[in-house]
Chains A and B, each alone.
Chain A
Amino acid sequence: MKRRNFGQLGIGACAGLAIGSGHPGRWLQTLAGELASQEDRWLHSDRILVVIQLTGGNDGLNTVVPYRDELYSKARPKLGIPTSDLIKIGDMGLHPSLKQLDGLLSEHRFMTIQGVGYSAPNRSHFESMDIWHSCHTKKDRTQSGWLGRMISQQGSSSSDSPVIHLGSEPLPLACQEKGVQVPSLASLEQMRLKS
């Protein structure tokens, strides 16, 4: 799916949104740890964690706007969003097109995490995405992702994979781990074996 098309689907469908550039390790590790520790609860309930990865560039500063910071107007002298147009959340403001998130926000069902990064970044897109998916700053040669490791650690009581990847791109690194099989599903049609 194209990122743009997803945006048009309505962002209200989205439960967690991470914005920014940088080190995802800690909070994703925490999330994975949290999920693993509550294994019983989530394995035996119908709740499903949906992770939506919008791959590509996004102007983080104009998505969640630090409008009170004078550096903002310096960084966005022309493209900056007028303060009056923003959906304000304390010191921050959301881009006006994100108004559907306002409802979720008031119900405490939406949060953003900013300034995610790693120290002394080399600004390679590919390096950043590898860190994002693997939660390892040091690129160790054995490639494994945070979701893949989570499946491997908690083990699986059935032969079905607890994680499924929806999309036509190759399996994301986040879902990879030795001995872990995460199925990829582009469309139901594609899963039908022709004869």
Chain B
Amino acid sequence: MRNQEIIQPNQNLSEIDPVLAWSAWEPSPQEPWDARRLRHLMRRGGFGAKPSEVQTLANGPVSNAVDALFGKHTAQSSEAFEQESAQIASGVRSGGNIESIAAWWLHRMLHSPSPLIEKMTLFWHGHFATGADKVKDTELMVQQNQLLRVHALGDFRKMVHEVSKDPAMLLYLDSATNRKTHPNENYARELMELFCLGEGNYTEQDVQQLARCFTGWEIRRKSFRFNPYQHDSLTKKLFGIEGIESGEQAIDTVLAHRSMPTFIAGKLVRFFVCDEPNPTSEFLEPLAEEFRKSDFSIEPLVRKILSSKLMLSNWSIGKKVRSPIEFMIESMRSLQMTSNLDRLSKGLEGIGQALFNPPNVKGWDGGRSWINSSTLIGRSNLMVDMLKDPATRFGRGDLDAWLKSQQLSNPDQWLDWLGESLLSVQLDSSDKQRLLSATEKSEVGLDRWRKTLVALSQNPKMHLS
């Protein structure tokens, strides 16, 4: 049976059979379901595993671990978490500064019992990228963030309809100047190029026609309003289809385009499975088929990707560069570390990932572009800053107590623990030698335990997922 086949780690994507790649992964003697694979899944589908999750989930079936990412069976902890999060939100909203809102979101990523929801919200934030610098209204940015969270795993078509009427998005893509006599093409273009279809699947005429459909879509008192006086009510033609009039009809027409399911599946694969290379549409077809079959519900598509052979085989381990958020939040979750999240959000901005301010409407490029000489040093420096911050706690206590609770009593053990918990690609003996000797000399500043974590942050393996 072909399903018994193993995908070899060094195989080219083009040599892998698409049906095999997206079939459900099953444990085998070569690829057992163990703590390492569980951590890989939790890293990609969430923000890393907490120590408490590792044992419980690695001993159960794979489907339990996938369910845990979705936040199934955690109703109680979810209620307590939502209360805490709402409390933080009410505190920062009145202040209105975007770093504090970013800190509120980072708190959700650190503590949410449904990490996949936050990961998908982050995915959609990069997909429907909207920047606070231009919107200049914190309240509207929070409103959009909630919209993305509510639909994160829901009905994609419904999400696109609502995003198209979202005030922050309308401001960001200049709907204010989209008038009957002078249609502004920005939203129309990006709806097709970046949000639904990808470049090359529409013509310039389609952009012009689509822009006319959205004329009169305005904001009044921070809400969407349709202004019939500014709307061009003549019929328009999209992709050769005649008789389209309203913006809603136009969105439905874009969503029905044959390239939509493949485009969305491709972006999800790049987000969850591998940065490179770009998969072909043939390779994505089983996923596109799943998306169509579920009437464009996001959850079954994401579940199929996360449970797939390609995702859970050794092939995909180490195939992504960690984003700044993944680098910090995964480390903090594994170490049960809490800290000054305002400082963390500023620090993340410095190394290329300012929440609520993606670089442009295309979102973060990700992959190799996360790393350059400044950001690599910046990552290590941010780790130093967070470790030195007086608010930093480990499991609600200090690091010494936490190390004892984990039964870690010497630097060798500590380095092994860090390697196992934080790295997808394991340290070899020369890495370990170097890291241990780098932290040997006791100098002023951080103690040896903290220094080990900082030294590890300077190792390239720390930045792979």
Contact = CB atoms under 8 A, between A and B. Distances in A.
B374 A190 contact: yes
Interface in B446-465: 446, 451, 454, 458
B373 interface: yes
Interface stretch (A25-33, A84-92, A93-101, A166-174): A166-174
- A-B CB proximity, top 10 nearest: A184-B372, A183-B373, A170-B369, A194-B384, A194-B381, A184-B374, A186-B374, A171-B372, A190-B374, A195-B445
A190 B373 CA distance: 10
A170 B380 contact: no
A174 to B, nearest CB: 13
6 contacts: A141-B278, A170-B372, A184-B373, A185-B373, A192-B381, A193-B458
A144 B278 CA distance: 16
Interface of A: 122-124, 126-127, 141, 165, 168-171, 183-186, 190-195
A191 B446 contact: no
A122 B204 contact: yes
Given A122-B199, A190-B374, A190-B377, 19 more contacts: A123-B207, A124-B189, A124-B199, A126-B193, A126-B199, A165-B372, A168-B350, A169-B359, A170-B352, A170-B359, A170-B369, A171-B372, A183-B372, A184-B374, A184-B375, A191-B374, A192-B381, A194-B385, A195-B446
Interface of B: 189, 193, 199-200, 204, 207, 277-278, 350, 352, 359, 362, 365, 369-370, 372-375, 377-378, 380-381, 384-385, 443, 445-446, 451, 454, 458
Interface centre among A126, A141, A170, A171 (most CB of B within 10 A): A170
Nearest to A127: B199
A192 to B, nearest CB: 8
Contacts of B369: 170-171
A181 to B, nearest CB: 8
Contacts of A168: 350, 352, 374
B354 to A, nearest CB: 10
A83 B353 CA distance: 46
A191 B373 contact: yes
Contact of A126 (B278, B362, B458): B362
Contacts of A191: 373-374, 377
Contacts of B200: 122
A152 to B, nearest CB: 16
Contacts of B370: 170
Given A123-B204, A126-B362, A184-B372, A195 B451 contact: yes
Name the residue in B362, B370, B381 with the highest tally of chain A Cβ atoms < 10 Å from its Cβ.
B381
B277 A141 contact: yes
Nearest to A165: B372
Contacts of B362: 126
Given A124-B189, A195-B443, A190 B199 contact: no
B279 to A, nearest CB: 11
A160 to B, nearest CB: 12
Nearest to B443: A195
Nearest to A143: B368
Interface hub of B277, B350, B369 (most chain A Cβ within 10 A) = B369
B238 to A, nearest CB: 16
